[in-house]
Amino acid sequence: MRISEQKIEQIKLSVSIVDIISEFVQLRKRGKNYIGLCPFHNEKTPSFTVSEEKQIFHCFGCHSGGNVYKFLMEYDKISFVEAVQELAEKTGVDLELETNVHDEQQNELEEYYELNNIAAKYFSDQLLVNNDGESARKYFEERKLNLKTLRVFGLGYSLISNNSFVNFAEEKELDFNRLLTLGLVGKSEKGRLYDRYPGRIIFPIFSPNGRVIAFAGRKLDEGTPGGKYINSPETPIYIKGRILYGLSHAKDEIRKKGIAIIVEGYMDLLALVQNEIKNVVAVSGTAFTEEQVRLLSRYTKNVTLLFDSDAAGINASMRSIEILLDQDFEIKIATLPKGEDPDSFINKFGKTKFQGHLAKAQNFFEYQSAYYEAAGMFNDSGKTAEAIRELVKPAALIKDELKRSLLIKTIAKKFNLREMLIESELNKAIKNISKLETSQQRRTNIKANIEQNEFSKKSNSISLIHLQTERDLIKLLFEGDVEVVKYIFDNLNVEDFSIELHQEIVRKVSNHFSQKENIDVSLLLDEFIDEKIELYLRELLFDKHSISSKWEELLPDSQSEFKLLNYTVEVVNKMKINLLDKLIQKNMQNLELVDNEEEKFELIKLGNELKTERLNLIKETK
Ligand SMILES: [Zn+2]
């Protein structure tokens, strides 16, 4: 599947990167750019920058960046084609896919999706129509799941009988190498292929877009060998810990209600959805991962945790609280009577009673202090101090100062303590967090500096001022002003740039410009396949290497176009002076080498001409 370049351009032009990223990241304006907290690494002070003018983003912390497609690809973990499709849907641009042209990588991913689809359909058929699927049907009947739910969530069954899926795949001539990668079949040491999920209930796992990306197989009866669950391995289309079960079905409802209910298991989720409670996702592990929280934050920042009331469930809640607070979530925790989980509870007591429990959900502070209280930690003073320290820890993760001080007041009031005391505990906790963060930040900075040095090593014979002139020229090329670009290419060649890195960038721009007669920064950036060059360029465009203080003064002006061209002339002149300096130097070296008087005279004449030209340029520039 391939999408034409014009379409890719058309779609990109019909949106603003600021609008799109704003859906996921809170941005605020600073100067020409927008800044916010980076969604790709953990940070408390914003280093994530978006340029409306250039339609690209860049993070000074983790160095991620690119155009709007790149953002969606990284954020959603989707392919380029999917990112284009997602934007096309948003903007209403009609995408006629040209399927006859091959895009190998994308085709390969599509084949994995297709195989998962075929397998899901196969397992579903075994559950719904095969005589041998009786035991599985019975299981779901006992768990009170109806046909509609089984269908909507694509539930299935893998027969116990000898390698029925392998046989099916052979019959259909499916690609066994890919089936192995997907973990749908296994291979013995002797090379014999076998079913990976025999005798198991199959839960297909969907991507947020609703595609089958993995499977979870649950033991139907205790006699089945292996653990309670067997899951897909990581594959080209599935990364563990980045998926929330049920999200593709729940996302609209979550947006509508403005809140998500988080449960532990598949069956919990299915039971709630069948009872018309649809804003539910399952973590299907023990606690939230950071990536799951990030994924969820696209739809809401409000959650109610509804984990089992056993020790494992409480632990999972406690750990989830920190991850959620760290990403600015509002958290409520609902508890069910001991021994019940959402699945068993709603089937026994019905929807109304269930919603009653949801309504009684506590905020995380109430929940945690109740927990410590129940554990007897407030009975002696030593343990009380420990409990308070534990309670203050999550408060340190709250970024909103007002919310934080409200919480401090609550804690102080509840335990009859002076606020000052709590505050000093809180400050300690905050210090610990920021220590951790700055050391992380430092590490990434060091890495960037090393890469930076690789470039400068090659350029150490060239003066810093000269390099800055070249950088300014490259920046000018990316200002999106046709006149400016034209002027530069009329006056300078690619070879005039002194280091290879700059030459490569200028060459690409020149090719792009001669083909399109304009400069689309965000598209052009995609043409730099070498990540180091792309990063260098992005940092340059976001002013990391800017020494010239003129730059900022130049642009916000109403006559900026005029000023920009003037400035371009000035920089091009500087560049020419640099080039002349080189020629003059070379000329003097040559002069020392020749003995012939006539040649000497010619060289002196040439040298004088060069010097006059240089002088004129200097006069012009002043
Ligand atoms: Zn970042």
CA distance 279 to 524: 41
Of residues 113, 89, 107, 94, the one with CA closest to residue 1 = 107
**Cβ atoms 443, 42 nearer than 8 A:** no
CA distance 508 to 528: 8
**What spacing in Å lies between the alpha carbon of 126 and ligand 1's midpoint?**
46
pLDDT tens profile 320-358: 888 898 888 999 999 899 889 999 999 999 999 999 999
CA distance 219 to 228: 5
**What spacing in Å lies between the alpha carbon of 441 and ligand 1's midpoint?**
10
CA distance 372 to 321: 15
pLDDT tens profile 440-487: 554 454 444 444 444 444 444 567 778 888 988 998 898 878 888 999
DSSP-derived 3-state class of residue 30:
strand
**What spacing in Å lies between the alpha carbon of 41 and ligand 1's midpoint?**
5
**What spacing in Å lies between the alpha carbon of 58 and ligand 1's midpoint?**
8
**What spacing in Å lies between the alpha carbon of 40 and ligand 1's midpoint?**
5
**What spacing in Å lies between the alpha carbon of 437 and ligand 1's midpoint?**
12
Average the pLDDT over 48-56 and give the result: 91
- Six-digit token string for 614: 């240089």
CA distance 451 to 416: 55
**What spacing in Å lies between the alpha carbon of 510 and ligand 1's midpoint?**
31
Task: Kindly report the length of the chain.
Answer: 622
- Six-digit token string for 26: 């809170």
Give 38's Cβ-side CA count (13 Å radius).
21
pLDDT tens profile 93-147: 777 654 444 456 667 888 999 999 999 999 999 999 998 999 999 999 999 999 9
**What spacing in Å lies between the alpha carbon of 238 and ligand 1's midpoint?**
23
**What spacing in Å lies between the alpha carbon of 530 and ligand 1's midpoint?**
20
**What spacing in Å lies between the alpha carbon of 390 and ligand 1's midpoint?**
29
DSSP track, 4-16: -HHHHHHHHHTS-
| Mean pLDDT estimate for the chain | 84
CA distance 81 to 503: 31
Q: Is 263 left (phi over 0), alpha (psi -120 to 50) or beta?
A: beta
* Residues with Cβ within 8 Å of residue 386, at least 6 apart in sequence: 377
**What spacing in Å lies between the alpha carbon of 42 and ligand 1's midpoint?**
7
**What spacing in Å lies between the alpha carbon of 250 and ligand 1's midpoint?**
28
Could you count the other beta carbons within 10 Å of the beta carbon of residue 563? 15
Cβ burial 522-559 (10 Å sphere, 16+ → b, else e): bbbbbebeeeebbbbbbbbbbbebbebeeeeeebeeee
- Six-digit token string for 267: 């069956």
**What spacing in Å lies between the alpha carbon of 494 and ligand 1's midpoint?**
33
Asked if the model's pLDDT at residue 380 lies above 70, the reply is yes
**What spacing in Å lies between the alpha carbon of 60 and ligand 1's midpoint?**
7
Give the helix/strand (H/E) hosting 216.
Answer: strand 212-219
**What spacing in Å lies between the alpha carbon of 36 and ligand 1's midpoint?**
10
**Cβ atoms 203, 236 nearer than 8 A:** no
Q: Which residue has the tokens 């914003």?
A: 46
**What spacing in Å lies between the alpha carbon of 282 and ligand 1's midpoint?**
27
CA distance 468 to 409: 54
> What's 558's DSSP letter?
T
Q: Residue 554 has what pLDDT?
A: 52
pLDDT tens profile 584-594: 888 888 888 88
pLDDT tens profile 223-269: 888 889 999 998 988 988 888 999 999 988 898 888 999 999 999 99
Domains and CATH numbers, the chain: 5-91 (3.90.580.10), 104-231 (3.90.980.10), 247-349 (3.40.1360.10), 361-454 (no CATH), 464-621 (1.10.860.10)
